[in-house]
Structure 1
Amino acid sequence: MEFEGYIFDLDGTLADTMPAHYLSWRKITQKHGLEFSEDRFYSLGGVPTERIFNILAEEQGKTLNAAECAHEKENAFVDLISEVGPIEPVLEVVRLNHGKVPMAVATGAMRWVMERILDQLEIADYFQAFVCSEDTKRHKPFPDVFLEAATRLGVAPEKCCVYEDAQLGIEAGQAAGMHVIDVREFHTPRRITAGA
């Protein structure tokens, strides 16, 4: 099938960031007395950082400033960004379609964090549109981030192909009426927790 637009999630799809993200999550959640297992971390892939802190605090009966905690976590992640590399099979798709088909990044990350990751990988110039956590009110598994990316590309949703690595993101792509490729079928991130 010929697609008229490609949309890529960022973390765990274009960039092999998930181990570094979990290390930074573990550091900040422990600091604030929150439990956050690696399995739970992966189950919430695509959910904005601030929202995850609110979910964890409510579940565990803690009071915290989720926005401040989110910035602490993202700063801790950026400290590890030099360790982040690309997920080559996905980047190969980007390179093959560059200049032929419009492409976008659609992520639950904050814009400044997305920009740091794209700079680290030196791939920002491949894309014509970027949609971040600040750009939609609803986040994955709602389709809004992908629909907004399609709008910015000027491509009908059903003519877009989405690359995703998280279950919530896959559901979002399907809800948007797009063809979805599950990156987990060919890439497994390194686990931090022994035996996880």
Structure 2
Amino acid sequence: MYDAYDGLIFDMDGTILDTEPTHRKAWHLVLAQYGMTFDETAIIGLNGSPTWHIAQVIIASQQSDLDPYRLAEEKTALLKTMLFESVQPLPLIEVVKAYKGRRPMAVGTGSEHSMAVGLLQHLGLLNHFDAIVGADDVKRHKPEPDTFLRCAELMGVPPARCVVFEDADFGIQAARAAGMDAVDVRLL
């Protein structure tokens, strides 16, 4: 089905791994410590953004003076304790399995590199990918193209010969900005 492409790039959270509900639960628990809440719809709209950026948006909406980087660290630490117990692959993982060894594949995620590696290793999927690019591997994040351009570079595939699988508007924009075709998995 995707044989026309020389490289396949997958977002991780909400695309190949069902992590979104656990991410939201971790936000609720961390923010409750500060008497704060968040608008789930607004947070879903930020999917694909680095955790510190989401923390910035939440803090601004609450008119708080918390440090977004510290809040992001707290959320990530809590998430790590929860995610390994609950994470499951999503149906798109079948595409990953079908193309293993047939095409170079990469994960381009807004999560930290170590989190992506840990989750994929935990599920026995790490060896399916030739490259992992996390939020801490690039300076500019989705909707900027840097994450996906770095994936293409690490796979040794020209960007125009890659297809990106995404579940977030920022990711679709990033893929297009990188000159790549994009598959919106929300429409599959």
TM-score interval for Structure 1 and Structure 2 normalised by the shorter chain? over 0.9
User: Given the alignment, which residue of 86, 92, 107 partners 2:94?
Assistant: 92
Map 1:103-118 to 2 at 5 A: 103-118=105-120
Structure 2 alignment gaps of length 5 or more: none
Structure 2 equivalent of residue 143 of structure 1: 145
Structure 2 equivalent of residue 83 of structure 1: 86
SS in structure 2 of the partner of residue 119 of structure 1: helix
Give the drift of 1:185: 1.5
SS in structure 1 of the partner of residue 132 of structure 2: strand
SS in structure 2 of the partner of residue 79 of structure 1: helix
With normalisation by structure 2, the TM-score equals 0.93
SS in structure 2 of the partner of residue 41 of structure 1: helix
With normalisation by structure 1, the TM-score equals 0.90
Structure 2 equivalent of residue 3 of structure 1: 5
Structure-2 separation of matches of 1:51 and 1:9: 18
Q: Which runs of 4+ in 1 moved over 6 A?
A: none
Q: Percent identity?
A: 38
Map 1:29-108 to 2 at 5 A: 29-81=31-83, 82-88=85-91, 90-108=92-110
CA RMSD of superposed structures (Å): 1.3
Structure 1 alignment gaps of length 5 or more: 187-196
Give the drift of 1:139: 0.5
**Which amino acid in structure 2 is aligned with residue 21 of structure 1?**
H
Structure-2 separation of matches of 1:115 and 1:100: 21
Structure-2 separation of matches of 1:26 and 1:54: 15
User: Given the alignment, which residue of 126, 129, 132 partners 2:128?
Assistant: 126
Give the drift of 1:35: 3.0
Give the drift of 1:34: 3.3
